[in-house]
C-alpha cells in the first residue's frame, strides 16, 4: 500500500458518525538524497498540516502504510526557529518570523497570506504512536490554548533505505540498457478510500468528514533524473538553492543540483500523484559489470569460432 490518510478527531463528538466536515491544508515533501559518505540514498517524507481557527478538534491523526517508531519521526519546528530563512523557502513567500520564548510557537506573517503559528511538537507529550490498520498512526494533540489561532505542524518521517512510495525498475529487454539506465515510478496517494484498510475507514468515519482546502506535493529528485510524465500536470518545478536549503535537510545529505517537482489541488477529498522518471546508473560498478560481460562474450565468441573453424577444416 502507498496511501496516507489524515483526519481530525472532534473535540466534541458529533451527534452521529460522519456529521460535519473539517477542512485542512496539507503539504508533503518526498525526498531522495544521496549521503555524503556513500552511494546510498536517504528517503524521507515531510508532512505539513495547517489547521484553521474554526476547526473543532482535539487531535489530528495521520496514517502511514508501514511500521513507524518514535525514532523515525522528527519535528521540524526547531529547524525553523534556528534558521528563520527556511520559513520563506518552505512557503515560497516573503515571511516575517517572530519568536515567543518560552512558548513553543513561531508567528509567521507572510506578505500575501494570512498569519499563522508554527507549533513545536514534543514527541513525549504531543504525539501518540500506534501500530494498527496494517501500518501505523500517530496523533497530534492540539493545544487548547491555541485553538483560536491558525496553527501549522511540520514533521519528518524517515523512510530508511527503501521508499514505500517509489520503486525502481531496470529494463528487462536489453542488457546494454539495463546496465546504464533505470526507471523510477513514484506513486503517492492521500485518503483514497479504495486503498485504505476497512477498519481504518470505519475509524475515520466515526468522527467527521475531512476535506483538504489545499494539497501541495513536492517530489525532490537529483538533476540527472529525467521527468517523463505524471498522471496530472505539474504545477511547476525549480532547482533548490543549496545554501538556503542545506540547514533543512540532514547534515550528511547532498543538496546541490536537486530539482523540486510540484503538484497541487484545491478543495478535494483525496489526492494522488503518479510520476515516472528515467535516470542513469552508469557508475564504476555497472561499467565494470558491462565490461566483464563483453569480455566473456568475446571469449565465448572466440571459442565457438575455433570450434567451427576446426570442424570446417577437419
DSSP of 107-134: EEEESSS--EEEEPP-HHHHEEEEEETT
Residues 121-170: tens digit of each pLDDT: 998 899 999 999 999 999 999 988 887 789 999 999 999 776 789 998 87
- So where are the chain's domains? 3-282, 283-314
Q: What is the rounded distance in angstroms from the CA atom of residue 215 to the CA atom of residue 52?
A: 15
Residues 271-312: tens digit of each pLDDT: 999 999 998 776 556 566 666 766 777 787 777 777 776 776
Beta carbons of 240 and 253 less than 8 angstroms apart:
no
Q: Which residue has the higher pLDDT, 291 or 115?
A: 115
Q: Which three cell numbers stand for residue 34?
A: 544521496
The predicted pLDDT at position 91 comes to 92
What is the chain's Cα-based Rg? 24
Q: Is the pLDDT assigned to residue 232 strictly greater than 80? A: yes
**Dihedral, CA atoms, 136, 142, 143, 149, nearest 10 degrees?**
140
Residues 21-73: tens digit of each pLDDT: 788 999 999 999 987 766 678 899 999 999 987 677 888 999 999 998 888 99
Beta carbons of 242 and 260 less than 8 angstroms apart:
no
Count of beta carbons in the 10 Å neighbourhood of residue 140: 23
Beta carbons of 3 and 193 less than 8 angstroms apart:
no
* First and final C-alpha spacing in the chain: 64
Q: How many CA atoms lie within 13 A of 11 on its CB side?
A: 11
Amino acid at each position: 500500500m502507498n496511501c496516507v490518510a489524515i483526519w481530525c478527531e472532534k473535540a466534541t463528538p458529533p451527534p452521529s458518525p460522519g456529521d460535519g466536515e473539517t477542512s485542512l491544508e496539507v503539504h508533503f515533501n518526498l525526498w531522495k538524497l544521496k549521503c555524503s559518505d556513500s552511494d546510498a540514498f536517504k528517503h524521507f517524507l515531510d508532512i505539513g498540516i495547517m489547521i484553521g481557527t474554526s476547526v473543532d478538534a482535539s487531535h489530528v491523526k495521520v496514517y502511514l502504510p508501514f511500521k513507524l517508531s518514535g525514532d523515525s519521526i522528527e519535528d521540524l519546528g526547531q529547524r525553523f526557529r534556528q534558521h528563520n530563512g527556511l520559513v520563506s523557502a518552505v512557503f515560497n513567500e516573503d515571511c516575517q518570523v517572530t519568536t515567543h520564548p518560552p512558548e513553543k510557537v513561531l508567528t509567521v506573517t507572510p506578505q500575501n497570506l494570512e498569519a499563522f503559528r508554527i507549533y513545536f511538537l514534543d514527541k513525549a507529550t504531543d504525539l501518540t504512536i500506534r501500530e494498527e490498520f496494517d501500518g501505523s498512526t500517530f496523533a497530534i494533540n492540539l493545544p487548547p490554548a491555541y485553538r483560536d489561532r491558525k496553527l501549522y505542524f511540520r514533521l519528518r518521517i524517515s523512510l530508511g533505505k527503501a521508499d514505500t512510495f517509489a520503486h525502481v525498475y531496470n529494463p528487462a529487454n536489453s542488457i546494454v540498457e539495463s546496465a546504464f539506465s533505470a526507471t523510477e515510478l513514484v506513486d503517492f496517494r492521500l485518503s483514497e478510500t479504495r486503498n485504505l484498510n476497512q477498519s481504518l475507514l470505519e475509524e475515520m468515519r466515526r468522527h467527521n468528514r475531512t476535506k483538504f482546502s489545499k494539497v501541495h506535493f513536492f517530489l525532490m529528485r537529483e538533476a540527472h533524473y529525467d521527468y517523463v510524465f505524471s498522471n496530472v500536470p505539474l504545477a511547476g518545478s525549480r532547482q533548490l538553492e543549496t545554501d538556503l536549503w542545506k540547514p533543512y535537510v540532514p547534515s550528511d545529505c547532498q543538496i546541490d543540483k536537486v530539482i523540486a517537482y510540484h503538484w497541487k489541488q484545491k478543495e478535494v477529498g483525496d489526492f494522488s500523484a503518479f510520476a515516472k522518471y528515467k535516470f542513469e546508473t552508469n557508475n564504476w560498478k555497472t561499467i565494470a559489470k558491462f565490461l566483464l560481460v563483453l569480455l566473456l562474450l568475446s571469449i565465448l565468441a572466440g571459442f565457438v569460432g575455433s570450434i567451427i573453424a576446426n570442424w570446417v577444416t577437419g
